[in-house]
Amino acid sequence: MQVNSKRIDHLGIIAGVVKDLKIVELINRRIPQDPREEISVGEAIVGMIINGLGFSDRPMSLTPQFFQSKAMGRLFREEVTGDHFKSS
């Protein structure tokens, strides 16, 4: 059996508060989903919040790299990857 671990540090607390407050759902109710996008506007905004509170001094264009080492299923949902946060 192989075990993989990824750090989420304080970001897990932030993700938990976001889920408890249903921030993604609140945003998604007000801004419709673009069918070309794989993540919702709410998830993208939460990604920016988590990235900003991740004590990262990297520019937002490097957000996919920031999320590579994170447990995305815990912070968002299983299907979300760091590549979903690339700007088109």
> Among 73, 74, 66, which Cα is nearest to 82's?
66
d(CA 6, CA 44): 21
Question: To 10 degrees, the CA torsion angle through 21, 25, 30, 31?
Answer: 130
Tens of pLDDT, residues 29-88: 999 988 998 889 999 899 888 888 876 666 666 677 777 878 888 888 888 888 888 775
How many other CB atoms are there within 10 angstroms of residue 85's CB atom?
Answer: 24
**So what's the pLDDT on residue 29?**
97
